[in-house]
Amino acid sequence: EDQVTQSPEALRLQEGESSSLNCSYTVSGLRGLFWYRQDPGKGPEFLFTLYSAGEEKEKERLKATLTKKESFLHITAPKPEDSATYLCAVFNKFYFGSGTKLNVKP
Amino acid sequence: DAGVTQSPTHLIKTRGQQVTLRCSPKSGHDTVSWYQQALGQGPQFIFQYYEEEERQRGNFPDRFSGHQFPNYSSELNVNALLLGDSALYLCASSRRRGTGNTEAFFGQGTRLTVV
């Protein structure tokens, strides 16, 4: 059965403390993986699409990478405004993980 | 360029009633997907519409139905509302490409509360 699992469920960082969020998937014939950011009570905001293993994409303090079984969202020197829930989803059927709730303290 | 717009933003309904939610996709997009998001959970896929037909469906009962209009806008209908239907309902639009879709852009959602 297709599954998308994100870890950790919640992550608390100090401002400037870099870390990574994980998204593992079991989907046959993956055709791409999406990362989204979601603020409370709002719709998800698109961040990245990754299509093939080895691919990397960057945007400001965020970098997303993809392997054959998982994707990582690396956050370098985060700021309080990076606090949000980060969701990953597979391209095939828009299956979402449950998200990682990131809290960055000043 | 307007993004994905949803209406209404908030709605309160009584158990057993019916509700209709609306979505206008981003310009240039032809595919609309609907999701239900409970508090603290990721979005759960309800169904997807393309060319005015339901193309894919998630694990939701027949009480959930939809429609897509020729201008690509879409409606989500839920009949016989249950307390458990209370959630944020999200609409996402994308453009069909081959056998999949481009990345989806989401609206701000409709917060449905069933009392």
Q: Is B45 touching A (CB cutoff 8 A)? A: yes
From the list A6, A35, A20, A31, the residue with the least C-alpha distance to A97 is: A6
Q: What does the pLDDT read at residue A12?
A: 98
Per-residue pLDDT at B1 exceeds 70: no
The answer to the question of residue A88 being in a domain is yes
* Nearest CA-CA distance, residue B91 and chain A, Å: 9
pLDDT of amino acid A27: 79
Backbone region of residue B46 per phi and psi (left: phi > 0; alpha: psi in -120 to 50; beta: other values): alpha
The pLDDT value recorded for residue B80 is 98
B23 touching chain A per CB within 8 A: no
pLDDT at B24 over 70: yes
A59 is a domain residue: yes
By C-alpha distance, the chain A residue nearest B98 is: A31
pLDDT tens-place string over residues B41-100: 999 999 999 999 999 899 999 999 999 999 999 999 999 999 999 999 999 999 886 666
* A101 lies in some domain: no
For residue B11, pLDDT beyond 90: yes
Provide the β-strand partners of residue B24: B5
Which residues of chain A carry a pLDDT beneath 70? 1, 92-93
Residue A19 in any domain: the answer is yes
- pLDDT at position A90 is 86
Count of domains forming chain A: 1
Note the pLDDT of residue B100.
64
Q: Are B33 and B91 in contact (CB under 8 A)?
A: yes
In a domain, A10, yes or no: yes
What domains can you pick out in chain B, each with its CATH number? Answer: 5-114 (2.60.40.10)
In a domain, A100, yes or no: no
- A106, part of any domain: no
Could you tell me the CATH number of the domain that includes residue A34? 2.60.40.10
The residue of chain B nearest to residue A90, with distances taken between CA atoms, is B103
What is the nearest CA distance from A26 to chain B, expressed in angstroms? 17
Q: Range of A75's domain? A: 3-93
Say whether pLDDT at B114 is over 70.
yes
Q: Which residues of A11-31 are buried (b: 16+ CB within 10 A; e: fewer)?
A: bebeeeeebebebbbebeebb
Q: Is A59 on the interface with B (CB under 8 A)?
A: no
**In chain B, what residues touch A32 (CB-CB under 8 Å)?**
100
Whether A102 is covered by a domain: the verdict is no
| Per-residue confidence (pLDDT) for residue A94, from 0 to 100 | 74
Question: What confidence score (pLDDT) does residue A29 get?
Answer: 77
Chain B positions touching A94 (Cβ under 8 A) are 33, 35, 45, 48, 92, 101, 104
Three-class SS state of B50: strand
